[in-house]
Amino acid sequence: MKKTQIIRELLRTSRPLVSPGIYDGYSLRLVAAMGFKTAATTGSGLSNSQLVQPDIGIMSLLDNVAACRNLARSVAIPLMADADTGYGNAVTVYHTVQYFEEAGVVGINIEDQVWPKRCGHMRGKDVISVKEMCKKIEAAVKAKKDPDFIINARIDAIAVEGIEGAVKRAKEYAAAGADMIYPDATRNEDDIKRIVDAVPDRPVNINMGFGVRSRPTTPLVSLKRLKELGVARVSCPRMLTASAISGMRKALEQMKWCIETGEIADRPDLLASMEEVTALAGYDAVDKLEREFTLPEDLDKRYGGEQGYVIKGGK
C-alpha cells in the first residue's frame, strides 16, 4: 500500500490521528521508533533550525522541498509537509504541489495568509480573499498526480474575521476540493465544533501545543475530547522543537558547571546513549549491508573481530 493510501486509511480509522511535528532526521526517526503512525514537518521548526530565521516566509520553496525529500525517504511512516501559502499565486501553487509530491511526502498544508506569511500564532496576520484561496486549492487539486495526495487547507482567518469567517472559508475550501480542513489558532472547543460541523465530509486537523509552557492560542484539549468533537487529526508542531531546546539547555548548563568548578559530572540522565544515537542515524543498516556485500577477509581486516561499523561504548 502506498504511503498516501496509508494515511487516508489512518484518517478514517485512527481518529484523532496524532502527527508530531518534526524538524530534522533525529526527530523524525524518533517519532517512527516510538511507534507513532505519522509525522509532519513544522515549517517554523525547519526555518528556525536550518536557516536560523523566524517563520516569516524567508524559507524558500526549494529549501523546504529539499529538506522534505531527505526526511520522507528516511522512514516508512507517512510524512506530511508544511508548504506555507504555496509560495505565490495559484499558478505557483500548481508547481509547489508537484515538487512536494515528487519529494515523497503524502500531502501538504497550504494556508490562506498573505505573503510573506507569519507563524500561525503570531499577531498581525492577514489573509487573502476566499475566492483567491479557492483558486489555489483548485490548482493544487489539479496538479497532484496521486489522487490520494492530501491538500490540507489551513484557515488563518479566525484572528482576522472571527469564527463566522472561518466557518464560511471551511465550506468554500471543501467545495473547491480540499481534502482536509485545518483551522489554525482555534480559541475554544466551540470553534473546533463549528468547523467540524461545517464540513462533515472532510477530516478536520487541529493544532495542539502539547509541552509548550507559554499559553498557546488554542487551549489544550484532551485527545478523548477531540475525538468526541469529531477531530480527525491532531498536529503538535512545537512539542519536539521545544523539548529539544530544553534538553540542550540543561546539558549545556551542566557543562558550564563543570567549567566553573573544574569538576567532572557524569549525567547519563541528560543524554541519549551512543547506541541510541547511532540507531536513529541508521548505522545498523550499514552494518547489515557490509556483512552482506563485503568480502570476509576485508571485514576481518577492517574490524579485527569487532561486530561492525556501529560505534559502541563511545568508540
pLDDT tens sequence across 124-160: 689 999 999 999 999 999 999 999 999 999 999 998 9
pLDDT value of residue 215: 54
pLDDT value of residue 265: 87
Evaluate whether 154 touches 109 at the Cβ level (below 8 Å): yes
Please tell me what DSSP assigns to residue 16.
Answer: S
Return the C-alpha cell found at 153: 487547507
Overall average pLDDT of the 50-60 stretch: 91
Instruction: Centre a 10 Å sphere on the Cβ of residue 274 and count the other Cβ atoms it contains.
Output: 14
**Residue 135 half-sphere exposure toward CB, CA atoms < 13 A:** 9
Between CA 282 and CA 276 the distance in angstroms is 10
The secondary structure of 26-39, three-state, reads: HHHHHHHHCCCCCE
Q: Phi-psi region for residue 84, left (φ > 0), alpha (ψ -120 to 50) or beta? A: left
Q: H-type helices in the chain, by residue range? A: 3-13, 25-33, 43-46, 61-72, 90-103, 130-143, 158-176, 189-198, 223-229, 239-261, 274-281, 283-293, 296-303
Higher pLDDT residue, 215 or 43?
43
Overall average pLDDT of the 167-173 stretch: 98
Overall average pLDDT of the 224-237 stretch: 97
- Which has the closest alpha carbon to 232: 38, 79, 47? 38
Evaluate whether 90 touches 138 at the Cβ level (below 8 Å): yes
What are the pLDDT digits (tens) for 256-303? 999 999 999 889 999 999 999 999 999 999 989 988 999 988 888 888
> Given the C-alpha cell 498544508, which residue does it identify?
109
pLDDT value of residue 121: 62
Percent pLDDT > 90 in the chain is 82
Superfamily of domain 3-237: Phosphoenolpyruvate-binding domains (3.20.20.60)
Between CA 287 and CA 221 the distance in angstroms is 44
pLDDT value of residue 171: 98
pLDDT value of residue 124: 67
- The answer for residues whose C-beta is within 8 angstroms of residue 66's C-beta and 6 or more apart is none
Q: Is the pLDDT reported for residue 223 higher than 80?
A: yes
Between CA 288 and CA 299 the distance in angstroms is 12
Q: Is the pLDDT reported for residue 307 higher than 80?
A: no
Strand partners, 82: 109
CATH 3.20.20.60 in the chain: give the residue spans.
Answer: 3-237
Q: Is the pLDDT reported for residue 310 higher than 70?
A: no
